[in-house]
Structure formats: structure tokens, C-alpha cells
Amino acid sequence: MTGWRSTFAGLAAAWRRAVEQRGMVAAYAALSALLLTAAAVAPLLVDRAADAGLRHEVASAGTGAQLGFDVRATLGTLGPALDAIAGAPVPLPPHLASVTGLPAVAATTRTGVARSGAGTFEVARVTTVHPPVRWLAGGAPGPSDPTLVGGVVPVALSADNARLLGVTAGDDLTGTDDGATLHVTGVFAPLDAHDPLWGAAPELLRSQSPFALRPTAAALLGPATVSDAPGTAERHPSSAPVDVKVTVPLEADRLRGPDTPAIQADLVHLTGHPAHVQVGGDELTFVLSTHLDDVLTAYQGREQVARSQLTTVLVGLVAGSGLVLVLAASLLVSRRRLVLALERARGASVAGVTVRALAESLAVAVLACALALLVAVGVGGGMPASADLLPAGAVLACAVAVPAVLAASVAWSSWAGSRVSTDRDDRRDEERERRSWAVALQAGVVVVAAGALAAARVRGFSVGGDLFASAAPVLVAGACCVGVVWLVPRVVHAVVRRRSRRWSAVPLVAATRGASTGGRLVALVTLAVVVTLAVFSGAQAATVDAAQRGDDDAAVGAVARVLHPGDGYAQWVARQVPDARVEQASVVPGRAWGQGSGLTVTLLIVDAKAFPQFRALAEQPAPQVGGPVPALVDPSLVGPARAMKPSLSAFASPMTISVAGTTHGVPSLDSLDTTGDPVVVVDRDAMLRSTGINPALLHTDVVWLDGPGAARAATLAAGPVATVVTRAQATADLRADPLLGGMAALLRAASVALALLAGLSVALTVLAGGPERLRVLAVLRTLGVPRRAGRTLVMGELGPVLGAAVVSGALAGVLVAGLLTGVQGLDLLAHGAPIRLHVPWWPFVLVGAVTAAALLTGAWLEERGRRHARVGETLRTY
């Protein structure tokens, strides 16, 4: 019990000591609060950027990100069924239900041929509850009785469809399959064409396939189309087939990045297990049709790459913050070295000294932690998640533990005896053993750094907490410090030997003291780590920015790209815009590569002669019937192709492949691969000649538009599910993506913050060596050295060592960026653009300027602090 009392008895003395040295304690508290705030806020900013990027991705996808359901049933009465479907919630899994809005329901009751003065068309009769419209001519259609064969059915048309059909209000459409006459009662325009309620029947607003043999338009059935009196849909005969569509829009404001896997799981469940709902006497089956999974998959790829980059930088920021806290705590403890030794001499135990130091650091950490949490809550809008607080927790642990550990070390060493062998040979053996351990430790650091770098190159990007690979820049910086520790003393000693006869006492003493790096090892490692991460962060941001600016072809492959166009679109757009070059291709995902290999690939079937990037494929000779088909394969498939005879399951029969080259340098492929599988490119004619496949089985999945008229061709309708992306639009979307913009901004901010940490570490290093230099300068002044020589002593002592640390850190940053740029998936952040390392100039200038300014300022402040120091007093306490 007495031991416990003595251990905790000095807390009041610790408080008095903290009050007496409140300036240093407040500085340590401010530094801890600043570093804690940075570590706590950075993950929250990443989360906000990720959530904003997901919302931007979904919004950019437009109708492709909506949930479309085909309701399969034969309804006896359409009106009550539509009312029941519109009034009842769509059966969605919980995660999807939490991010979706109100469903839109539309029913196509009959589609048939109709004739007008402009030609023959397919006209679909659609019943839906739609938003308000503005009547341009005529009015809303009234109720009709479709059971009457040859009767008159009142309908309304949108302005675009009326223009396509060549009719206006009061005209009739004749020649329908059931003999009915469609009487156009009015022509309308939507007040808001982007209202989600139009998503269930977009063909009501405009023709979705004007390139078909018979263009399809849609006519709006009665009874009323005004917003305040939607009415009830009409009854239909029990034998009338009804095509009911339900469209559920996503509420972008509710989307969050962490919910993406759960939403994808719900999509997979809905696709494999369609929902069944009992409405009246009919059972309705909801069959899902959406591109949301592709949108989320593309987003996840970019988010993983962005998070992996920021995780690497965050690991370096935490490591640099911890090392800076070690420097600050060592400075704080060194100023108390005499007090701690006196406490130990008066009988205080090491545990008591540790508890008093720990109590002080805990009080400081609590204040710093409260400030950091306050800022984090303000930035994040709520309490951060536990995972986001892990970096701040690591910094907090350093802020609490380091002062206590260093105080305990000083207390222990001040009272512990030091045994030195009297025999000279024994002392040599002990010195040799210490050197062996030092060499082994340095070699171990180099080996671990090489292993981390190799792991990062092999594993690529990872978000699952692969700290060993994420710490590669930090470990490489430590390995560079080994080179500095080994090289700097030898270089300084060589310079001193050559210049010893010409230099005065101050440069010789400064160089001799600078050659000893043992006492500044923490400062060297700190400076090297933060400079490495500053250069690495700036290089990553510049590399991604250059890829986004430099190769817009990678995003689209031409002036415009059309995914999932309707049948006949390519031929129609070529006739409409003769000066546009139209090339088409087919994408067949999920093809098995070889027998039993377990690999699946995406097959891209192109007209190789039409694409300059496929020149290597077009120059191959035509294959024989049943012979191998020349192909460009993903670089990852070259090894398996050499190990086994490559083949591909194309449609009904396997197809033998001969590797004609790789897809490296073909930037337009990455934007087509939505499954994550490697891509294999074959020529259409060569594949048909070898396999004898019916050309009708090859649907057009991609159409590229190029040439002078491509921009005008991209504005033409491409089909109900087509996605048209122009080069300018892709570049603008890339620039507007909050995830990519936030990542680049955070990387630049991290580079600036790390440069400031470098300056802070230099300032702390200068302050830590001030008392020892004061005593050395006092001795030199007895030899006639002037007072102003102190600045030369500081610059000569710290300049070579700190300069070498800065240079080694900068080289390590360039080395790590160069070795990891090609394996971290940065091309996903630039729509598949080829990634080439770009090292900007500003991180080097920033780091050099900050460290030089910190060194000069520290030397000037130290000189001002020595103005009132007396040589006699200094030598008396030496």
C-alpha cells in the first residue's frame, strides 16, 4: 500500500511543475491538438468526397440508374390494377427501399400499326399517371371503350411524337390492327421532362427508336391528363394483353458510399428472385431491369483506388505526426532533465515519475482530443465512426505515451550505474558487438522496406487494411535514412580532412558535430518520412490530373460512344449524317478462357480494319475454317496463353485463339469492361469465317461516332436504353466528379501539410540542440570566437545532415511514386487513360523553402536567445 501511495503522491507537484512551465506545455498541447485534428478530419473528408462521388455517378447515369420493373401478368381490369400498383409500395429489399423514391407506373394496353400522312408507324397506347402538362393544341382525351371493334379511341400526343407522325389536334390515325381509329384530341408538352414519373413511359414524350423499320411512338389514353384530376384508367377486355412497367427512381441525397455493397446484394437478389405480389385476383411478377449494378461497380473501382491512395498518405501522415510528437516530447523532457534527476535522487521511484508525466500528458491529450472531436463533428455533421477515428487514436496514443516513456527513461538513466570494462580488448569486443547489432538493424530496415515495396507492387491497391503495403513509402524513407547515417559522416570527415588547414575553429567544430548523426536519428527519420510523403502525394495528384487532361480518347474512344443502341441504329445514323464515321462492335462478357482454368474474359468483337488502334489485328492473315482466330489479349493473359492452348467459349462452340498482341495502348477498352474481367479483342470477319456463327447472333452493343459530323450524330435518338457519351461530356463529368476532385485536393493538401511538418521537425531539432551548442560556443568564445559565430555553428552542424535527409526523402518519394504508379489502378480515375508518372516541381520547392526557412529562423532565434547568456555562467554549469 505504501508503494502505491508513494507512486501517486506527487501529482500535486506535477501540476505545479506544469504551471511553472506552462509555455512549453501549452505548445505541446497545441501541437497535439493540431495533429489530432488533421488525423480525425482527413478520413471524414474522404467519406464526404466518396458519398458526393456516388451521388454524382448515379445522377450522371440518368435513367440507367433507375430501377425498371416489367410486371408480367394478364390483367382483367386495368384501372384497379394500376391504382393498386401505384398505391402499394414496390416490393424492394430494405437497403434499396431506403434510397428510392415514389414509383411511376405505366401500362401499354395495345400496340399496333397506324397510318398517317407521314407514313406508317407503330403506335403504343399507354395509360399512366403523369405529372402536369401544358396543352399546345386541343385538350385532354376523354374516356374510351376499347372493347368496341372499329371504335374511335381518343388519345393525346406529345409535341415530338405529333411532329413525327405528322398530325395535330383533331386529326385521326387509321389502319390499326383492331380496326380502331385513334382520334388525336390534343398535343401537349411536359412542364418538367425530367420528372421521375415520366420514367415509366419515356416514349410518351418522344419517339425512342426513329431508326426502326416502323418508328414507334406512344399515345396517351384518357380519361384525363390534368394534375388535379388524374381520374381512373378505363376497363379493358379480359383477353387484352397489358404490358405494365414500374420505374422506381433513386433518391441521390440518401446514397452513401458504405451502403453500396448492401445495395448491390439487393440487386443480385432481385435479379435472381423476382418479387411476386397479389393484386386483386392476379399474381404480378416484378422482373428487374437496370444498369445500376454497372454504375455501382464502376464507382466502387474508383472509390477503392482513391481510398487506397489516401490510406497510404494517411499512414504517412500518422507516422510523421507520431515522429514530430516524439521530437516535441523529447524537447519537453530534455528541459526537465535536471528536475527529473533530482526527483529520482530524493527517492521518487521510476513508476512515480512515469505516473506524474502520464497525468500531465493525459490532461493535455484530453484537451487536444476535445478540440479535435469538436472540429470533426462540425465537419462530419455527427459523431465520426470508430473506423474513421483510428488514425486519430494512433496520434493520441503517441501524444499520451511518449512524454511518459521519455521521462521514465531519463529518471532510470539518471540513477542507473554504467559499467565499463577495464580491459581494452573487452571494450573493443563490446564496441564491435554494438556495431554488429546496429548494422543488423539497418539491414533489417532495408529488407523490410524492400519487402513492403514488393508487396505494394504485387498486391496493387487495397482498401482492406493492408498496412504493410500502405506503409511502403514510410519504410522506404527509413531505408534512405540508413544511407544518410552511413554516408554523411564519411563525406563530412573526408571534407574536413581536405579543408582542415584552411578552415577556422567554428567550421571545424560545426562539421565535426554534424558528422555525428546518432543524437539526431529521430529528426532524420522524421524529416525523411514527411518529405517522402509530400513528394509522393504531389506526384500522385499530378499524375492523375495529367492522365485526365492528356488523353480524352481513353474516356470514349472517339468523338462519341453509344452503348446499348437499338437495332438498326448504326445504319440509320449513317444515312442521317453522311459525314460521320460510324463503327460498331459487340461485347460478350463472361466467356470461359480455356478448359478448367477458372478464368473468364470479356470478348470484344470489332471490325479491325475500321479502328487504327487494332492495326496489329487487321494485318493478320484470314483464318481457315475451324482455325485459330487472331486476337489481342489483356497483358495478364499472356502467361496463361503460353502455358496452355488458348481457347474461348464463344456462343455454342469453343473458338481457338492465336495471340497476335496485347491490348496495351488501346485506351478505349477499359470503358467497355464493366465486369472487371480481362478483355480479348477479335475481328468480326475472322471470327465468323473460323466458327461459322450466324451473324444475326452478334448484337451491336457499342457504336463509335467519329469524323466531322459525329457531334451532330450524337444528338440523334439512339434507343430507349442507349447511353450516349461524348468526349467533351466525359471530360466534363470527370472534372466535376466530387470523388476525384476531392481526392486530388486532399492529396495536395496533404503534401502542403507534410511540408509544414518537415519545417516543424527542423525547428524542433534546432531547439533541441540549443543548450549543447550554447556550451560549445561558450568554450569557443574563450578562444576568441565572436558571438555572431553561433549562427555559423548552427548552419554548419545541422545543414549537411538535414539537407541530406531532405534530398534522400525527395528521391525516395520519386522512387516510390515511379514504382507504384502503374500498379495502383490510377487509370480507373481517368476513365482508362494510360498512366505515366508526372513529378511536379512545386513539392520540391515547397519542402526546400519550408525547411530552409525553418533552419534560418531557428538559427536567428537561437542567436537572439544567447544575447544575455554569460560565458562564465555557462561554463560553470558545463
Which residues, in sequence order, are bridge partners of residue 603? 588, 680
**Contact criterion met (CB below 8 Å) for 590 and 600:** yes
State the Rg of the chain over Cα: 37
Residue 760 has pLDDT above 60, yes or no: yes
CA distance 878 to 316: 39
Identify which has the larger pLDDT, 671 or 427: 427
The x, y and z cell numbers of residue 774, run together, are: 550554447
Report how far apart, in Å, the C-alpha atoms of 578 and of each of 267, 564, 602 are: 42, 22, 32
Q: Which of 308-312, 420-424, 442-446 has the lowest mean pLDDT?
A: 420-424
| 298-350 residue pLDDT tens | 788 788 888 888 888 888 888 888 888 888 888 887 777 777 777 777 777 77
For residue 223, cis peptide bond before it (omega within 30 degrees of 0): yes
Q: Which of 113-127, 231-245, 704-718 has the lowest mean pLDDT?
A: 231-245
Structure confidence at residue 110 (pLDDT): 64
| 812-870 residue pLDDT tens | 888 888 888 777 777 777 766 667 788 888 888 898 888 888 888 877 777 766 655 55
Q: Which residues contact 864 (CB under 8 A, 6 or more apart)?
A: none
- Share of residues in the chain with pLDDT > 90 (%): 0
Q: Which of 48-62, 325-339, 649-663 has the lowest mean pLDDT?
A: 649-663
Dihedral sign (CA 302, 307, 312, 314): positive
Residue 187 has pLDDT above 50, yes or no: yes
Residue 283 has pLDDT above 80, yes or no: no
| 140-164 residue pLDDT tens | 887 765 444 557 788 888 888 888 8
- Share of residues in the chain with pLDDT > 70 (%): 73
The x, y and z cell numbers of residue 215, run together, are: 418508328
Confidence of residue 281 (pLDDT cuts 50, 70, 90): low
Alpha helices in 551-660 (DSSP H): 553-556, 569-576, 615-618, 638-643
Identify which has the larger pLDDT, 151 or 683: 683
**Contact criterion met (CB below 8 Å) for 710 and 558:** yes
Structure confidence at residue 242 (pLDDT): 63
Structure confidence at residue 228 (pLDDT): 31
**DSSP one-letter code for 626:** T
Q: Which residues contact 498 (CB under 8 A, 6 or more apart)?
A: none
Average pLDDT, the chain: 75
Q: Which of 278-287, 511-520, 841-850 has the lowest mean pLDDT?
A: 511-520
Structure confidence at residue 334 (pLDDT): 77
Q: What is the mean pLDDT of the segment spanning 627-648?
A: 76
Confidence of residue 367 (pLDDT cuts 50, 70, 90): confident
| 464-497 residue pLDDT tens | 556 777 788 888 888 888 877 777 777 766 766 6
**DSSP one-letter code for 566:** P
CA distance 618 to 614: 6
Structure confidence at residue 38 (pLDDT): 84
Instruction: Spell out the SS3 assignment of 70-106.
Output: EEECCCCCHHHHHHHHHHCCCCCCHHHHCCECCCEEE
**DSSP one-letter code for 69:** E
Structure confidence at residue 580 (pLDDT): 84
Dihedral sign (CA 75, 76, 78, 83): negative
| 546-583 residue pLDDT tens | 777 655 555 666 778 887 787 778 888 888 888 888 88
Identify which has the larger pLDDT, 787 or 729: 729
Strands 119-128 and 104-116: antiparallel
Identify which has the larger pLDDT, 371 or 207: 371
**Contact criterion met (CB below 8 Å) for 410 and 330:** no
Q: Which of 14-23, 157-166, 703-712, 819-828 has the lowest mean pLDDT?
A: 14-23
Other Cβ atoms within 10 Å of 173 Cβ, number: 23
Structure confidence at residue 231 (pLDDT): 33
In the three-class reduction of DSSP (H, G, I as helix; E, B as strand; rest coil), residue 120 is classed as strand
Structure confidence at residue 659 (pLDDT): 80
